Amino acid sequence: MIRNIVFILACLVTLNVQAVKRPNIVLLFADDMGYGDLGCYGHPTIRTPNLDRLAGQGLRLTSFYSAPGCVPARKQLLLGRYPGRVHTNGNTGVTGKGGLSDSELTLAEALKGAGYGTAMLGKWHLGYAEEKFLPVNQGFDSWFGLPYSNDMMPPWVKTEVPLWLYEGTKRVEHPVNQDTLTTRYTERAVKFLERDHDKPFFLYLAYNMPHMPVRTADRFRGRSRAGLYGDVIQTIDWSVGEVMKTLDKTGRAKDTLVIFTSDNGPWLNPPARMLQEGNLLWHAGSPGPLSGHKGTLLEGGVRVPCILRWPGRIEAGQTSAEMAATLDLYATLVTAAGGSLPKHKIDGHDLRPFLFGKTKWSPRKIHFYSKGRGPGAVREGPWKLHADGRLFNLDIDPAERFDRAEEKPEIATSLKAKLEAMKKEISGK
């Protein structure tokens, strides 16, 4: 009898340990990929079988928000804060002297503090002028990638600062062979995943593509009906496939949370400086049914694809229009890892009850759209108000064609008050 009780207790302990087992985390972050660029998000000619399969094995979100540009998007993702709360004391691109303050706690630092191994591949864009700003001094054990966007070099940007590829704190390649960036990042990712790991890991793969100038390896050129841009998207899809195959091969797939998303919408209005050296207007993606593009607070500038897969925890084959944001990934991942959130204010929510099917509703009830210092639009439920007073019902009108402010003055007034309050909170005025 006692032996049976001991056996039952041991089983319960084992089940409890399994239930709280911390996941490995693989975060895949595209650059300038539009909401409509993937097959599973409706593109008619670009083939993305690996990402489509990933969506079928997990959850596909259709109201997921990032930010309208490279730097604010990375602030939201890696710090869990609206960009207006984060001050870098200068530009973080070419010739920029700015970087993250010591008071910020990056996602990598929080996960490392929870006992995770961390690695980064790809684009950083949060400071490079001093070594302390680089990823390996911001919580990542290793980094191989570019310090900022791949266009920040002649002829697209007037600068005498060369664009270098970095390994840790060392500059290792100039000029950078951008044709092979995605394939090299992928090879490094596969090697990292194949290694023996004695603790859970966080791999952050931040693709430089499909940001202009779009580039891909010879073996991927001409394979898409959507031209060079389609070739680049299909290269990223190949990369995702290699990552997933490696997780399967190493037996880690069931223990790994995989997330794929993008930093902002497509660059449909590039400045004249970009349209040289082979860059063409159609070397940009699709906002799908949304209006707007990168740099705007219209849905096409900030609403991006997001797919999450964690076998046994996130039910397969789901699609949800519930609202969530890159801000929420920070809180969700740190909490899932058993880590500690920073003492200062963050703007994200722990999505796990929603992701795990404990509730049908996302904890994100309101979202503020922000380029920099303060928000310029707000969404609550289906209603979105721009700072200029335009009001849209995004459930009915995701393309933001029909201004409903005159028809719904009470909703416009309520949202305006919330927008002004958040502006005041962030600016301190």
Residue numbers annotated as active site: 70, 125
Distance CA 241, CA 239 (A): 5
> Bridge partners of 380?
366, 383
Contacts for 170-179: CB closer than 8 Å, 24+ residues apart: 176/146, 176/150, 178/150, 178/208, 178/213, 178/215, 179/215, 179/216, 179/217, 179/218
Structure tokens, 60? 């596909």
Q: Are strands 318-325 and 306-309 parallel, antiparallel or unpaired?
A: unpaired
Q: Are strands 306-309 and 59-65 parallel, antiparallel or unpaired?
A: antiparallel
Token couple for 38 = 């993937």
Outline where DSSP puts E strands in 201-305.
201-206, 256-262
Which DSSP helix (H) or strand (E) runs through 247?
helix 227-249
Name which of 150, 154, 83, 119 is nearest 325 in CA terms. 83
- DSSP 3-state assignment of 188? helix
The pair phi, psi for residue 321, each rounded to 5°, is -95, 10
Alpha carbon 390 to chain centroid, angstroms: 28
Closest CA to 392 of 411, 375, 376, 419: 411
**The two structure tokens encoding residue 134:** 């680089």
